[in-house]
Amino acid sequence: MAARTSLPVLLALLLVFLSSGCMSLEYDLSEIPIPVSAKPAEPGAGQVEQFRIEVNNVLWVHGLFGRDQPDVAALVANEAHGHDRIAGFRVRQQGSFHGWLAAHLSLTLVRMRTVVIEGQLVRDPEP
């Protein structure tokens, strides 16, 4: 009798575990040929341009059928082409109305977050 009552409890715990999983984002910036720093560019650092990239991170059926994770290093390397370094580098995930709508219309089988990559592209002054 105890086994029959514990089965629904285990199934409920499994459902809670699957539905509450977070969407982490993994990336490696070691392949970028220029220095990347979270510290903002100092005043007088040369030519400084702000950049912002927005892409989607999608989890299919709680990750059981895969995920579409953006290649952060490739996006940053493409954006930084022709610059000396990157300062003020930040990566974060945020929700959007489209992600919320996709999750609810698919009964949370498709979960989407917007990945925002921001920073400063710096061209150092010539000596």
Question: pLDDT at position 26, please?
Answer: 86
pLDDT at 22: 61
> What local confidence, expressed as pLDDT, does residue 121 receive?
96
Fold of 24-123: Translation Initiation Factor IF3 (3.30.110)
Task: Quote the mean pLDDT of the chain.
Answer: 85
Query: Measured between alpha carbons, how far is 38 from 48 in angstroms, rounded to an integer?
Result: 14
Q: Per residue in 98-107, pLDDT tens?
A: 888 988 898 8
For the chain, domain boundaries: 24-123
d(CA 103, CA 97): 10
pLDDT of residue 90: 97
